[in-house]
Structure 1
Amino acid sequence: MDSELHVVMFPYLAFGHISPFLQLARKISSCAASGGVRVTFLSAAANVPRIKSLLPASTSISVVPLYLPAVPGLPPGVESTADLPPTSPAAELLKLAVDGTRPQVESLLRELRPHLAVFDFGMQWLPEVAEPLGVRTLFFSVFAAVSTAYLTVPARRLHGPAPTLGDIMSPPPGFPSAASSIRSVPAYQAADFLYIFKSFGGGACVYERVVKCIESCSAIVAKTCTEMEGSYIDYVEGQFGKPMLLAGPVVPVPPEGELEARWAKWLGGFAEGTVVFSSFGSETFLTDEGERELLLGLEMTGMPFLVVLNRPKSCTNGEQEEVRKRLPEGFEERVKGRGMVHSGWVQQQHILRHKSVGCFVCHAGLSSVMEGVAAGCQLAMMPQKGDQYLNAALFARDLGIGVEVERKGEDGSFTRESVCAAVRKVMAAEAEARKKHAKWREFLLKKELQDGFTARLVERLRELAKA
């Protein structure tokens, strides 16, 4: 093998997957100890401009477009999950479109002859294409190891192809319960998890895709570390008999530029560490009732707050007027001067790092949690779906970072009182809890440590490429 390591990366067509792949690409391509890593990044053509905009001006990462084949029922122009409403059946058809890129991917691998191909859950066929060409394959999990350990290990097969709600409420056999805070999950979370075992139109379910990906690849790459998830990592390695190459936790790159003047001015009117900021990411949405209880709960705290509320593209035009129509009666007048509700994109990292922001109420998406911890904000987590539930358990219970908003076990609903209680609790955290939070923040932000994770990962990648 020559000195330059060539890696092809192919994430699933969702920016919640594309972003971690880009973060990994930047880490390994810029590693000073790498000896040179070149990355070729694959995605649907419509996503390429946005992906390129997220790359530094000088980079060894090139982006190659793929052209999605037409799939009956999939609307023209849909090339990522961002183009779909969250409950659309077309989300399953997008997976079939990804499957349809197989000939293009095979042709590219024949032409490029990379050493390694890093791929996602939506293309379980990739090892069948790559390995005969001498290209070693690595499955990159964009989720915390706890999610893989709880949901997508072979031990789940002991329940058969269609596990029941009761089956999923309990961890799989051999799960490291002694080292984990997770003894079971409530019914509403288990009901949400059942989605990954559901087959649509006779096709492979998400569970089957993930397990086949891992069983067929040469190794697993995970954005975690033994300090945070050691017992879960050991369990996954044992279940699959495959090594996990650890990229270290993906710590957000400090944002560029300045905070928009209107937010800087508004936030600047409050004392240090007193403002509550709430946002649920770009693809997680609250119900009407959830929005109302969140807002009234924040009002009950008596603290200043800034809330970002968005809706799926198909439900609203996202304009501020649409949000105002949904506000509780009299809410604007009651919180005038200390409460702000916004719709649309905001500079989340800039806001979290503002000195007046002390608490982050979020959905426990892994990237958002990391941004909150890195900014030094206290966390009040309100997971809404999927891996978010397990992320909240990992951080709040295993690691002692933040709290979870109390929910009803049957349907997962929450009240204004539970929102208020969680925010007040975390904002009044005792010295020991704040010390633990500070310890993890220091760990995540230690550059030498993060550089070490990357250097060791690149070394493992080179060893795998030579094998």
Structure 2
Amino acid sequence: MAEARGRECEVAVVIVPLPAQGHLNQLLHLSCLISSYNITVSFLASPLHTRQAKARINGVHPHLLAKIHFHQIPLPDFPSPPPDRTSPTKFPSHLCPSFLATTAMRQPFADHVRHISTRYRRVVVVHDSMMSFVVQDVPSIPNAETYALNCISAFSLSYFAWKPTDSPPPPAAADLFAELPSFEGSVTDEIQQFTHLQYKALNHRSGDLYNTCRLIESPFLETLQIDAGNRKSWAIGPILPPNPSSKRHHKSLQWLDKHEPDSVLYISFGTTTTMCDEEIAELAKGLEQSKVKFLWVLREADKGNIFSGEPRRAVLPEGFEQRVEGVGLVVRDWAPQPEILAHPATGGFVSHCGWNSCIESIMMGVAMAAWPMHSDQPANAALVTRVLKTGLLVRPWSGDKEVVKASSIESVVRRLMASEEGDGLRSRAKEVGAAVQRAVQPGGASRLELDSFIAHITR
């Protein structure tokens, strides 16, 4: 590493995220990590998504963010249709236009990399694996190379790679893989087509990065490495600040300060889920009947442009917020999830099981009630509940998307927050979380892999 540091000024890193919040978040945190090695880092996105990433980043000291160069490439207009609020939750097809618009970035991105390649000994492009189409011209530049950051779990990736084949599943997940839905069965046709477009352009990369830790996903990382052959890979996650904190003390944190350790259930369904009115009503009723303290972040799924128009104010049952005052808090704006999960009062997490939420919950040692909605989420839920054993399912995965009734929600909430079973899950989650926290500290397994990646790109 000492030898590498002497040559870092000769290397520039360009970060290319997919314009979806969970992906923007991971890539911007990674930008801060790489820049902490005194390497020049550029974050390349549209002006709109650059603004979104900077506005929502949690737990990062401003001086780290100030070291990042933000290079912006305008995108064509991508009007988003409104989400469907009348039927049970499914993949938010209203995000598809912003994904497809990124294909227009290919030429200006290649021009940008060619330009900076004349100023540095090496240009290293780290891109979201779902932005492979945009970066596919990089291998034609003699002193440039690309690495894909995989923003979903190794378990999900190994499952999606295994599903179309006739090969036996990894021994660690033989039974689980047989139970899970195919990727095609849990996303829209538009997302499936966009994904296939990326995979066609993915073969030119020099290596892979994973936002996970070998302590929790070693068997699945090994499976992916076998498939990769000679291509290098590094498991550097969780890509998060180890001790998230913010100078802005959000009202949710002030409310949590008033409650005992492990007493509050946190509920959030991420940025790609819009619950229909019936789902919201059943969840509210189930929470009220459970008598458990809760913090519920109730937001609509992100639009392509999160800054345009007013978001829908979800309708709760009449008098609900008044009846649960002091016991529950409903938050309708953006909330600092890593800080909420790290708060001592948080004792459980009802989640859609997006990988950001999973890895944050795992790292903070919070047990989960898994409620997957689409895409990789059913696989992530299986990882949490069946492999890591740090959570329980709200319901088994179902393609018909029936609304979960209040009685079922009440039962799961009580199991997680007020039973011996829940106490055991919390104990297990804290053990796993402590191990993962050590992994990202200097000398830990994930930090050593990040050091190895930095040494490699500055070789």
Q: Aligned pair 1:139/2:128, yes or no? A: no
Q: Aligned pair 1:182/2:176, yes or no? A: yes
Corresponding residue number in structure 2 for 1:90: 97
> Gapped runs of 5+ residues in structure 2?
81-91
Q: 1:235 aligns with which of 208, 223, 227?
A: 223
Give a deviation string over 1:167-188, Cα, whole Å, max 9, x none. xxxxx63431444562334559
Q: 1:426 aligns with which of 416, 425, 430?
A: 416
State the shift of 1:290 in Å. 1.8
State the shift of 1:450 in Å. 6.7
Give a deviation string over 1:148-185, Cα, whole Å, max 9, x none. 2122x3x5555xxxxxxxxxxxxx63431444562334
Q: How does 1:40-439 map to 2 (within 5 A)?
A: 40-51=42-53, 54=57, 56-59=61-64, 61-68=67-74, 70=76, 74-75=78-79, 86-87=93-94, 89-113=96-120, 114-120=122-128, 121-124=130-133, 126-151=135-160, 153=161, 158=165, 173-179=167-173, 182-185=176-179, 191-193=185-187, 195=189, 198-199=192-193, 205-210=194-199, 212-213=201-202, 215-241=203-229, 242-252=231-241, 253-257=243-247, 259-260=249-250, 262-263=251-252, 266-312=255-301, 317-318=310-311, 322-323=313-314, 326-329=315-318, 331-332=320-321, 334-407=323-396, 409-413=398-402, 414-427=404-417, 428-430=419-421, 432-439=424-431
Give the Cα–Cα distance (whole angstroms) in 1 for the partners of residues 159 and 355 of structure 2. Answer: 16
Cα RMSD (Å): 3.3
Three-state SS of the structure 2 residue aligned to 1:139 is: strand
Residues 115, 136 of structure 1: 8 Å contact kept: yes
Give the Cα–Cα distance (whole angstroms) in 1 for the partners of residues 253 and 458 of structure 2. Answer: 48
TM-score of the superposed pair, with normalisation by structure 2: 0.81
State the shift of 1:300 in Å. 2.0
Give a deviation string over 1:291-316, Cα, whole Å, max 9, x none. 12211111221112221211246798
Structure 1 pair 316–455 and aligned structure 2 pair: CA distance change class (3 A): same
Residues 188, 410 of structure 1: 8 Å contact kept: no
Structure 1 pair 407–43 and aligned structure 2 pair: CA distance change class (3 A): same
Residues 366, 429 of structure 2: 8 Å contact kept: no
Corresponding residue number in structure 1 for 2:22: 16
Structure 1 pair 178–282 and aligned structure 2 pair: CA distance change class (3 A): closer
Structure 1 pair 37–429 and aligned structure 2 pair: CA distance change class (3 A): farther
Residues 105, 134 of structure 2: 8 Å contact kept: no
Give the Cα–Cα distance (whole angstroms) in 2 for the partners of residues 455 and 424 of structure 1. Answer: 40
Structure 1 pair 264–3 and aligned structure 2 pair: CA distance change class (3 A): closer
Give the Cα–Cα distance (whole angstroms) in 1 for the partners of residues 414 and 52 of structure 2. Answer: 39
Residues 292, 413 of structure 2: 8 Å contact kept: no
State the shift of 1:94 in Å. 1.7
Structure 1 pair 308–24 and aligned structure 2 pair: CA distance change class (3 A): same
Structure 1 pair 52–280 and aligned structure 2 pair: CA distance change class (3 A): closer
Corresponding residue number in structure 2 for 1:3: 7
Corresponding residue number in structure 1 for 2:85: none
Corresponding residue number in structure 1 for 2:455: 462
Structure 1 pair 130–407 and aligned structure 2 pair: CA distance change class (3 A): same
State the shift of 1:387 in Å. 1.7
Give the Cα–Cα distance (whole angstroms) in 1 for the partners of residues 153 and 163 of structure 2. Answer: 18
Residues 441, 447 of structure 2: 8 Å contact kept: no
Residues 180, 398 of structure 1: 8 Å contact kept: no
Three-state SS of the structure 1 residue aligned to 2:49 is: helix
Give the Cα–Cα distance (whole angstroms) in 1 for the partners of residues 147 and 182 of structure 2. Answer: 33
Give a deviation string over 1:87-119, Cα, whole Å, max 9, x none. 355245323233353443344443444342111
One-letter amino acid of the counterpart of residue 415, structure 2: K
Residues 35, 68 of structure 2: 8 Å contact kept: no
State the shift of 1:257 in Å. 2.4
One-letter amino acid of the counterpart of residue 419, structure 1: I
Give the Cα–Cα distance (whole angstroms) in 2 for the partners of residues 186 and 436 of structure 1. Answer: 24
Give the Cα–Cα distance (whole angstroms) in 1 for the partners of residues 262 and 189 of structure 2. Answer: 39
Give the Cα–Cα distance (whole angstroms) in 2 for the partners of residues 273 and 137 of structure 1. Answer: 43
TM-score of the superposed pair, with normalisation by structure 1: 0.79
Q: Which has the higher contact order (CA 8 A, sep 6+)?
A: 2
Give a deviation string over 1:348-383, Cα, whole Å, max 9, x none. 334334433322212212222333344443311212
Residues 125, 144 of structure 2: 8 Å contact kept: yes
State the shift of 1:280 in Å. 1.6
Give the Cα–Cα distance (whole angstroms) in 2 for the partners of residues 271 and 463 of structure 1. Answer: 46
State the shift of 1:410 in Å. 3.9
Residues 48, 64 of structure 1: 8 Å contact kept: yes
Corresponding residue number in structure 1 for 2:436: 444
Give a deviation string over 1:238-290, Cα, whole Å, max 9, x none. 22322322213234441122634x54564455443222221122332222222
Identity of aligned residues (%): 24
State the shift of 1:217 in Å. 0.7
Residues 145, 232 of structure 1: 8 Å contact kept: yes
Corresponding residue number in structure 2 for 1:161: none
> Gapped runs of 5+ residues in structure 1?
77-84, 159-171, 200-204
Total equivalences in the alignment: 427
Residues 127, 216 of structure 1: 8 Å contact kept: yes
Give the Cα–Cα distance (whole angstroms) in 2 for the partners of residues 334 and 188 of structure 1. Answer: 42
Residues 271, 302 of structure 2: 8 Å contact kept: no
